[in-house]
Chain A
Amino acid sequence: MTATAATGTLPAEVEARITRLLAQVPDPEIPVLSVLDLGVIRHLGLRPDGTIEVGVAPTYSGCPATPVIKADIVRALTGAGFRVAAVDVLSPPWTSDWISAEGRRRLREFGIAPPAAAVGSTRALLHADPDVACPRCGSRQTARTSEFGSTPCKALYRCESCLEPFDYFKCI
């Protein structure tokens, strides 16, 4: 269900411009990812009064970054001269499968292992530990240190080959 008040679609050139602007809005906790890479932008729409509506899916129910992300989006688009409202989109719930290929590459470069298994995959259903590759040396000889890390979306791992600890972006 979406609390949308948008009834119209944006002209293609406006949508392209907004998409370019959103690609410049970083995730406040993992700034190498844009909000587009993170997959939290669910729709762009036009309200009858001309306001542009951006649908944003929260990653975790209690993630403190969600209100910051919405405020950053509004600030970026308002700064470019648009009238904007950011709304929560709860359903379908956000999944780590929505992180873009570009986002996954950037996570790895930043030292965070991207989510390993697709959420709907058999392996994820069987609750097996995912096969997490070390973002530094690529080794699959890794072990989980903790189910939870510095933000709700991450777990702590260590590499048994290069011995470095690293963050793993959880599959959800």
Chain B
Amino acid sequence: MTPQLRYLLRLADSNLVLAQRLGEWVGHAPALEEDLGLANVALDLLGQARLLLAHAGALEGRGRGEDELAYLRGESEYLNLTLVEQPNGDFGQTIARQFLFDAWQLGMYEAMQQSADARLAAIAAKALKETRYHLRYSGGWLVRLGDGTEESHQRVQQALERLWPFVNELFVTDEVDREAAQAGLGPEPAALEAAWTGRVDEVLAQATLARPARTHFAWYGKQGRHGEHLGYLLAEMQSLHRAHPGAAW
């Protein structure tokens, strides 16, 4: 598998896994409006994942389409960021995870609009509009929860502390990233960190939340080495397709 293909799958898989996680909220969110909100964000991420997976499949040229890539790869073949596979926790933890990811994806898509791969540039330009809206939603909720009651403040601050060890991976740049960036596909993740930190700090200040200290944790989800949660998520997501290959609605 070429570095370009792995780079694309990292993006696609992060979208797909987070869409699946958000989908778990359907029917369970604290209010109907947030049920709709989380489901709508999930739908956008799923749409972006489909575009990226279909493009990855076409680049690979081995006849794998979006369904084969989504439903028939195992855990170690999934290349998503470890952050997005973390369980939903309470609403505050879901919002914190979403905010950290949206702020990252915004910078990623902004840079990727200049990709040498015209199809990828078009996908990024389309998705960027949706991501801006997601960030407005997750950032808005982070401010309300952080600057809300003592209970909501404490819970969302704890959520940030819990998720912070997974932040390092957002900016780790490995050989795959370097080669893909040299080929003009998109940015090296390390190049996104300064703008991300600025964006995050601005919202955290409004939310009266403290940015947790940098940790030394290293995660390698994007290299296919995941935490304990992803396997269960994939088992649920893939069971129907594996039991009934090629099933269609």
B44 contacts across to A, CB distance below 8 A? 60-62, 152
Minimum Cβ distance to chain B for residue A91 (Å):
4
Q: Is the CB of A127 within 8 A of B130?
A: no
Complex CA gap A91/B47 in Å reads 16
Complex CA gap A90/B47 in Å reads 12
Q: Is the CB of A93 within 8 A of B43?
A: no
A146 contacts across to B, CB distance below 8 A? 33-34, 36-37
Q: 1/0 per position for A33-47, CB-CB distance to B under 8 A?
A: 000000000000000
Complex CA gap A147/B126 in Å reads 19
Q: 1/0 per position for B75-89, CB-CB distance to A under 8 A?
A: 000000000000000
Residue positions of B touching A, CB distance < 8 A: 33-34, 36-37, 39-41, 43-48, 50-51, 118-119, 121-123, 125-127, 129-130, 133, 136-137, 140
A1 contacts across to B, CB distance below 8 A? 118-119, 121-122
Q: Is the CB of B130 within 8 A of A61?
A: yes
Asked, given contacts A147-B137, A148-B137, A152-B44, whether A60 binds B130 with beta carbons under 8 Å apart, the answer is yes
B119 contacts across to A, CB distance below 8 A? 1, 90
Closest residue of B by beta carbon distance from A151: B40
B133 contacts across to A, CB distance below 8 A? 147, 170, 172
Asked, given contacts A93-B126, A145-B33, whether A152 binds B118 with beta carbons under 8 Å apart, the answer is no
Minimum Cβ distance to chain B for residue A9 (Å):
23
Main secondary structure of the interface of B (DSSP, over half): helix
Q: Is the CB of A147 within 8 A of B37?
A: yes
Minimum Cβ distance to chain A for residue B214 (Å):
29
Complex CA gap A1/B121 in Å reads 9
Minimum Cβ distance to chain B for residue A89 (Å):
9
A94 contacts across to B, CB distance below 8 A? 126
Q: Is the CB of A90 within 8 A of B126?
A: yes
A93 in complex: contacting residue of B37, B46, B129, CB < 8 Å:
B129
Asked, given contacts A148-B37, A148-B40, whether A61 binds B125 with beta carbons under 8 Å apart, the answer is no
Complex CA gap A149/B36 in Å reads 6
Q: 1/0 per position for A109-140, CB-CB distance to B under 8 A?
A: 00000000000000000010000000000000
Q: Is the CB of B118 within 8 A of A62?
A: no
Minimum-distance CB pairs A-B, first 5: A62-B47, A61-B47, A146-B33, A91-B122, A62-B43
12 A-B pairs besides A90-B123, A91-B121, A156-B33 with CB distance below 8 A are A60-B130, A61-B48, A61-B51, A61-B130, A90-B51, A91-B126, A93-B122, A93-B125, A147-B136, A148-B37, A152-B43, A152-B44
Q: Is the CB of A63 within 8 A of B123?
A: no
Q: Is the CB of A62 within 8 A of B46?
A: yes
B33 in complex: contacting residue of A63, A92, A127, A148, CB < 8 Å:
A148
Main secondary structure of the interface of A (DSSP, over half): loop
Q: 1/0 per position for A134-170, CB-CB distance to B under 8 A?
A: 0000000000011111101000100000000000001
Complex CA gap A2/B41 in Å reads 26
Closest residue of B by beta carbon distance from A62: B47
Minimum Cβ distance to chain B for residue A127 (Å):
7
Complex CA gap A148/B118 in Å reads 31
Asked, given contacts A61-B44, A62-B46, A147-B133, whether A91 binds B36 with beta carbons under 8 Å apart, the answer is no
Complex CA gap A93/B47 in Å reads 14
Minimum Cβ distance to chain B for residue A144 (Å):
10
Complex CA gap A63/B130 in Å reads 12
Complex CA gap A95/B51 in Å reads 18
Q: List 7 A-B contacts (CB under 8 A).
A: A62-B45, A63-B43, A93-B129, A127-B136, A147-B133, A150-B36, A156-B33
Minimum Cβ distance to chain A for residue B11 (Å):
13
